[in-house]
Amino acid sequence: MPDLDFRVEGAEVLKFAAVPSLLFKLRIENLEEEPIRSVALNTQIRIAATQRHYDMAEQERLLEVFGEPHRWGHTLRSLLWTHTVLQVPRFSGSTVADMPVPCTYDFEVVWAKYFYALEDGEVPLEFLFSGTIFYAGKGGWLQTARISWEKEAEFRLPIQVWKEMMEHYFPNSAWIRLHKEAFDQLYSYKVRRGLPTWEAAVRELLLASEQGVER
């Protein structure tokens, strides 16, 4: 019966996709001898947030995610990033599969806040695998086996790869989502003030707020 081993060998920006995406290079090795016809691979990817250091600036940006730093002994925990489904074609011995992972710049999503908060270093990731193996058994008959729930892999993603991806898809930009009522109010303000762009409207509101606080 096949015994698959997994290792993430690298990650890069997927340059041409409908949404911002990273491409992980996944090495899959069969520790037994059966030829693999295909693998229906399910992967849960988690951010092992406790496995790295955070400087003071990063701690401030992560207030919304983990709360005040003095409470991190209780609140700092791993985060679910995403689930992926990948169909791996036939191979013998080992193969490297491309695993695309769509990303978002929506700051309502916890893990997007986490990635944005980091200035440098790496993001410790955990890949948890499951799924079905289709292989050639004795006599060449097609057989199936389940991937053991114990199959995992770790990878430290350079945060600069994530930043490169977002810069590629949203050059010098960031996105926020507003409820319809808030958007209508902002739109009305922009029109009344004769401001040419949304950025100009937000900057004027921020300046007015800062001046109000100073008074």
> Over the stretch 104-135, which tens digit does the pLDDT of each residue have?
877 778 999 999 999 999 999 999 999 999 99
Domain hosting residue 160, numbered range = 4-169
Q: Is the same domain home to 152 and 185?
A: no
Beta-strand relationship, 122-136 and 36-47: antiparallel
pLDDT for the residue 33: 86
Q: Which residues of the chain have pLDDT under 50?
A: 214-215
- Whether residue 21 lies inside any domain: the answer is yes
Q: Is the same domain home to 90 and 193?
A: no
- Total count of domains within the chain: 2
The vertex-34 CA angle with 28 and 35, nearest 5°, equals 70
Q: Is the same domain home to 13 and 76?
A: yes
How many angstroms from the chain centroid is the CA of residue 207?
Answer: 34
The dihedrals phi and psi of 54, each to the nearest 5 degrees, come to: -125, 125
CATH of the domain at 117: 2.60.40
pTM given for the model: 0.84
Q: Is the same domain home to 9 and 108?
A: yes
Q: Is the same domain home to 86 and 109?
A: yes
Q: Is the same domain home to 186 and 160?
A: no
Q: In 3-state terms, what secondary structure has residue 43?
A: strand
Q: Tell me the per-residue pLDDT of 80-102, one tens digit each, with 9 for 90 and over.
A: 999 999 999 999 999 999 999 99
- Whether residue 58 lies inside any domain: the answer is yes
Rounded to a whole number of angstroms, the CA Rg of the chain reads 23
- Whether residue 78 lies inside any domain: the answer is yes
User: Looking at residue 91, what DSSP letter applies?
Assistant: B
pLDDT for the residue 215: 36
Q: Is the same domain home to 202 and 105?
A: no
Whether 165 and 22 have beta carbons less than 8 Å apart is answered as yes
- Whether residue 66 lies inside any domain: the answer is yes
Q: Is the same domain home to 190 and 141?
A: no
- Whether residue 174 lies inside any domain: the answer is no
Q: Is the same domain home to 186 and 114?
A: no
Q: Is the same domain home to 49 and 103?
A: yes
